[in-house]
Amino acid sequence: MIGPANLDYVAHNRGGVLRKGAMKGIVFSGMQPSGTPHIGNKLGALDNWVKMQDEYDCIYGIVDWHALTTGYEDPKEVGRQSLELAMIWLACGLDPQKSTLMLQSAVPEHAELHLLFSMFLSLPRLERIPTYKEKLREIEGRNLTTYGFLGYPVLQAADILIYKSTHVPVGKDQDYHLELTREVAEQFNRLYGQLFPITQTVHTVFPVLPGTDGRKMSKSYGNTSSLTDSEDMIKDKVRNMVTDPQRIKRTDPGRPEVCPVYAYYQAFAPQEAERTAHECRNALRGCVECKLGLVEPVQAVVRPVREGVETWQQQPDEVARILHTGSQQARGRAQQTVTEVREHLGLWQP
Ligand code: SF4
């Protein structure tokens, strides 16, 4: 049996090495292929994913169907962006020998489970999810009053539960969706018999990084630094960062706690953070100088990723092969779960 209660399962079979037991649990996490990830994605999610590879049985999904929930009018780029995202993952240190790297649409069982969950989930429950209303307000110029968009967290629940994931690493903004995943599991288990674990949230230890303008970091605000930015692009972005708006003159004491530059020091040069805060509060350092000191630490984080992506771009077939292999491994597990789901519901097996 594959399940959280019995970790003595054969999770993977790579090069003849079976990973039995010893893992803390099963992890699923996904990322949409919608543009190049930014430095916040690396610090907030990807670095954490890399660390979890040695402790958990990890399945990481490029969730291309999720990208269609908002980008359904123009899906042509999603395939190319999925491959690019895989290159970024590999460059960031996700290792196909340790984790399963898969493409959501290559495992159609996710859609079947999504359909079955949607039979018992109530519409008002989905409409109450705060992020649904927030996104409807935030994303302009697109009709998002669609079933697909409302059902996004149901598909996410299917993504997670189809692997009987025990843990999901997410940012705080995804808490509402995880809450729904737990409710889905509980409701299913109550209606049809025990099958799914109640998935735990693993919060990333890294605080949310603000955008270069101090607002929430978001590609749609154009306030991010992407993981493939050149050295010059990073320099320009850092030099143009907003600072404490009340610090007008060099002699004004600053407030590092409201300044995104200071937040970046904490993230990219933590050994410099305390001195930066002290010199800022006591007007011992100018903002121009302060920002210049941040350029190299940010470049140092982006540089190996950009260079890694350039290397993987020379071998797109190999990247596609890795995704294909990972998707096949994931599919075997997903099929087993769906077989059990059908048994629980009393449906015929095809
Ligand atoms: S000195 Fe640095 S931390 Fe202080 S306001 Fe200026 S840029 Fe921000």
CA dist., res. 274 & res. 279, Å (int): 9
Q: Are 32 and 63 in contact (CB under 8 A)?
A: yes
For 170, the enclosing helix (H) or strand (E) is strand 167-170
Cα separation, 298 vs 254, in Å, equals 22
DSSP 228: T
Q: What is the CA radius of gyration of the chain?
A: 22
**What does the alpha-carbon distance between residue 348 and residue 346 come to, in Å, rounded to a whole number?**
7
Nearest atom within ligand 1 for CA of residue 287: 6
How far, in Å, is the centroid of ligand 1 from the Cα of 239?
A: 12
* Ligand 1 contact, 48 CB (< 6 A): no
Pocket-testing residue among 239, 255, 259, 275, ligand 1, by greatest number of atoms within 8 A of Cβ: 259
- Classify residue 219 as left (phi > 0), alpha (psi -120 to 50) or beta: alpha
pLDDT at 143: 82
Ligand 1 in contact with 262 (CB < 6 A)?
Answer: yes
Does the annotation mark 135 as catalytic? yes
| d(CA 231, ligand 1 centre) in Å | 22
Q: What topology is assigned to 228-310 in CATH?
A: Tyrosyl-Transfer RNA Synthetase (1.10.240)
Q: Which of 326, 337, 332 is nearest to 102 (CA)?
A: 326
What is the mean pLDDT, run by run of 10 residues, along the chain of 350 residues? 30 37 84 91 92 95 94 88 97 97 98 98 92 80 86 96 94 82 97 97 78 84 91 96 94 96 95 97 96 97 97 97 98 98 96
Provide the 8-state DSSP code for 208: P
Q: Distance between CA atoms of 114 and 111, rounded to whole angstroms?
A: 5
Q: For residues 229 and 96, what is the distance between their CA atoms, to the nearest angstrom?
A: 25
263 lines ligand 1 (CB under 6 A): no
Compute, in angstroms, the gap from residue 276 CA to the centroid of ligand 1.
Answer: 8
259 in contact with ligand 1, CB cutoff 6 A: yes
Q: Could you give the residue range(s) of every CATH 3.40.50.620 domain in the chain?
A: 10-208+316-345
* Most distant CA pair in the chain, distance: 76
User: Is the C-alpha dihedral spanning 51, 56, 61, 67 positive or negative?
Assistant: negative
Q: Burial of 140 by CB count in 10 Å (0-12 exposed, 13-18 middle, 19+ buried)?
A: exposed
219 is catalytic: yes
Query: Any idea what the Cα angle at residue 60 is, between residues 227 and 42, rounded to 5°?
Result: 25
pLDDT recorded at residue 207:
66
Q: List the residue whose alpha carbon is closest to atom 4 of ligand 1.
A: 280
Residue with tokens 């999770």, as numbered in its chain: 11
**10-208+316-345 placed in CATH 3.30.565.10:** no
For ligand 1, the distance from its centroid to the CA atom of residue 288, given in whole angstroms, is 8
pLDDT of residue 324: 98
Torsion angle of C-alpha atoms 300, 301, 305, 307, degrees rounded to 10: 0
256 ligand 1 Cβ < 6 A: yes
24: annotated active-site residue: no
Task: Give the separation between CA 295 and CA 298, rounded to whole angstroms.
Answer: 5
Catalytically annotated residue among 20, 24, 172, 219: 219
- Note the pLDDT of residue 89: 98
